C-alpha cells in the first residue's frame, strides 16, 4: 500500500436517526439523500475524475464505531460465532478474540474509535449488528455486499466520497469535509497543533470539522474501511451505484478513505484522496470504520 511504510512505525437534505446497539448507546446516523444525484469521483489530481451516480438514499453513521460500541460485539461472542464472518474471515481469525489495540494505552478509551480492526472484523460486526436488529445481513459468506439489504455494512467507495465531498444534491463538492479551506485544526491529524500521539474521542473536532450534513471525522482520527476492493484510477469508469468487488481473499486489497491521526501531508485529508488500500487482515492503530445501513426492516 502506498505510503504505508512511513505510517506503520507509529505504533435540509439530511436527518439524524438512531439505530439500536445492545448494551451501548444508540448509534447516531445521518441520512444522505443522494438518490439520482452525481458526484465527481476524484478531481483530476487525486482520484480518477469520473462522474458517478447514486440512485438511492442511505444512512451513514455520524461517527466512527467506538471501542464502547465494538465491545458489545466482543461480549456477545462475536469472535466465537462463525455465523457473522465470511469464510475467509473466519479462517483468518484463528484464535484472535479482540482487535489488535484493544487493551493498548492511548487507544482503548470507550469513546475513541476502535482501531487495530481488520476488514474481516468490521464485516463480522456489521453482520452481527444486522442480526441483532432483525435486519437482513448485507454480507454473504464470500464477503460480497448486497447494497439493497436492510442490514449494516461498510460504505461503498462512492457512498463514502459522496457523503464526504457533497452530501446533498444542493451542495457544491468540497475539497475537505468541512469546505475548501485547509484549516487542519478541524481534524485529528499531525497537521494540527499540538500534534496528536494517538486517536481522539470521536467528534473531538465537531462541529467545526464536520460536513454540512453533520458527519464527524470524515478526515483524520482513523482511516475508514470501505466495502470495495481497490481499483486503479485509470480503470474506473462512470457508473450508477458503483461497487467494485472481486473477493475477500487475504491477498486482495480493500479501499480506505479519510486519513488518520498520523497524517502529516495535506493531500491525505482531501475527500478525493484514494491512494491508500490495505489487505483485509491488516490491523494497525490508524484503521477504523463507520457503517451504513439499508431501509428499516418491515414490521412483523
Confidence at residue 121, expressed as pLDDT on a 0 to 100 scale = 98
Ramachandran region, residue 286 (left: φ > 0; alpha: ψ -120 to 50; beta: rest) = alpha
Sequence-separated (6 or more) residues with CB below 8 Å from residue 42: 48, 49, 50, 233, 272, 274
**Cα–Cα distance measured from residue 203 to residue 199, given in angstroms and rounded to the nearest whole number:** 11
The whole domain housing 188 covers 1-300
The C-alpha cell at 125 is 460486526
Q: Total structural domains in the chain? A: 1
Q: What is the CATH number of the domain that holds 297?
A: 3.90.1580.10
Write the DSSP string, 103-157.
Answer: T-TTT--TTSBP-S--HHHHHHHHHHHHHHTTPPPSB-TTS-B-TTSSSEEPPPH
pLDDT along the chain (300 residues), means of 10: 36 42 69 95 85 96 97 97 97 98 96 98 98 96 96 97 96 95 95 95 96 97 97 94 97 96 92 91 98 68
The Cα–Cα gap between 120 and 227 comes to 11
pLDDT score recorded for residue 8: 34
Residues in the chain: 300
Specify the DSSP element, H or E, that contains 89: helix 87-93
pLDDT of residue 53: 97
Nearest to 212 by CA among 13, 11, 2, 10: 13
Q: Global pTM?
A: 0.91
81's CB contacts (< 8 A; 6+ apart) are 128
Cα separation, 135 vs 13, whole angstroms: 25
- The distance in angstroms from the start CA to the end CA of the chain is 46
Phi-psi region of 177 (alpha: psi -120 to 50; beta: other; left: phi over 0): alpha
Amino acid at each position: 500500500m502506498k505510503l504505508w511504510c512511513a505510517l506503520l512505525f507509529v505504533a435540509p437534505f439530511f436527518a439524524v436517526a438512531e439505530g439500536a446497539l445492545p448494551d451501548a448507546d444508540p448509534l447516531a446516523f445521518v441520512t444522505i439523500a443522494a438518490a439520482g444525484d452525481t458526484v465527481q469521483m476524484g478531481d483530476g489530481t487525486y482520484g480518477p475524475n469520473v462522474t458517478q451516480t447514486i440512485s438511492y438514499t442511505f444512512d451513514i453513521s455520524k461517527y466512527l464505531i467506538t471501542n464502547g460500541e465494538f465491545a458489545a460485539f466482543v461480549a456477545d461472542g462475536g469472535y466465537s460465532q462463525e455465523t457473522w464472518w465470511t469464510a475467509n474471515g473466519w479462517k483468518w481469525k484463528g484464535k484472535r478474540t479482540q482487535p489488535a489495540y484493544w487493551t493498548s494505552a492511548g487507544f482503548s478509551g470507550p469513546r475513541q474509535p476502535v482501531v487495530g480492526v481488520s476488514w474481516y472484523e468490521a464485516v463480522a460486526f456489521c453482520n452481527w449488528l444486522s442480526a441483532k436488529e432483525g435486519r437482513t445481513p448485507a454480507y454473504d459468506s464470500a464477503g460480497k455486499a448486497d447494497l439493497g439489504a436492510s442490514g449494516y455494512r461498510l460504505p461503498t467507495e462512492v457512498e463514502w466520497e459522496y457523503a464526504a465531498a457533497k452530501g446533498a444534491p444542493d451542495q457544491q463538492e468540497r475539497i475537505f469535509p468541512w469546505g475548501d479551506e485547509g484549516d487542519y485544526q478541524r481534524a485529528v491529524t499531525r497537521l494540527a497543533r499540538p500534534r496528536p500521539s494517538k486517536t481522539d474521542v470521536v467528534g473531538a473536532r465537531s462541529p467545526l470539522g464536520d460536513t454540512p450534513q453533520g458527519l464527524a471525522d470524515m478526515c483524520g482520527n482513523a482511516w475508514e474501511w470501505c466495502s470495495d476492493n481497490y481499483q486503479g484510477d485509470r480503470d474506473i469508469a462512470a457508473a450508477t451505484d458503483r461497487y467494485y468487488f472481486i473477493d475477500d481473499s487475504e491477498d486482495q486489497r480493500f479501499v480506505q478513505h479519510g486519513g488518520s491521526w498520523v497524517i502529516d501531508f495535506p493531500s491525505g485529508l482531501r475527500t478525493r484522496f484514494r491512494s491508500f488500500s490495505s489487505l483485509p487482515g491488516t490491523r494497525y492503530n490508524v484503521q477504523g470504520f463507520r457503517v451504513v445501513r439499508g431501509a428499516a426492516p418491515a414490521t412483523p
